[in-house]
Chains A and B, each alone.
Chain A
Amino acid sequence: AQSVAQPEDQVNVAEGNPLTVKCTYSVSGNPYLFWYVQYPNRGLQFLLKYITGDNLVKGSYGFEAEFNKSQTSFHLKKPSALVSDSALYFCAVRDEAGGFKTIFGAGTRLFVKA
């Protein structure tokens, strides 16, 4: 069965420092991996995805994520955090062999302090 784990409920980082939000997954087939962000009083917004190809994918707002097949991880990163990056981040996975169901993690709240 598919599953996603976001081991940190909250990540705190100072503005200008690099940030990492962790995600690990479990699927039986090849994974399709996504990151979404939810700002207060706004809907979920797509950040980036990994389908195939280069393990490092770049997305919106300067975010990037690295797919690591051996560690079954897809950590979200940004070289220099902004206060405006403070939000709730969700990792999601679809199993190529599992149809259309998309499984989301529980979310990680990112706080960037000025």
Chain B
Amino acid sequence: GAGVSQSPRYKVAKRGQDVALRCDPISGHVSLFWYQQALGQGPEFLTYFQNEAQLDKSGLPSDRFFAERPEGSVSTLKIQRTQQEDSAVYLCASSFDRSYNEQFFGPGTRLTVL
């Protein structure tokens, strides 16, 4: 009965470093979403997976951002050559199926780029 988990919970990176953020969705959930939440703002959509297929990546802010979900379960969000403006909380959410069901959110990874 575990919920969505994310690791690491906190990440400090030097500008220019690559980072990888992991999301373990609820078992059996088809849909997986990544969001970026800046301080004092609502979550901003980054990308959406339906099983292993990335169906929407329209929210990825640049080609430095890359996400994958190769086996339709665990997902990784990778940010290359991090910049200070990448500092934010990165949220992962999963949903039971591909329709309009509610999303279950993980605790987030707080990324700080120095």
Contact = CB atoms under 8 A, between A and B. Distances in A.
A110 to B, nearest CB: 15
Interface residues of A, number: 23
B45 A43 contact: no
B73 interface: no
Contacts, number: 59
A36 B3 CA distance: 16
Nearest to B108: A43
Nearest to A103: B45
Interface stretch (B13-21, B61-69, B76-84, B98-106): B98-106
B56 A107 contact: no
Interface size class of B (residues with CB under 8 A): 20 to 34
A26 B108 CA distance: 28
Contact of B43 (A32, A49, A90): A90
B70 interface: no
B42 A99 contact: no
A23 B54 CA distance: 30
Q: Which 10 A-B pairs have the closest CB atoms?
A: A104-B42, A46-B102, A44-B105, A100-B48, A43-B105, A32-B100, A104-B43, A43-B107, A101-B45, A106-B42
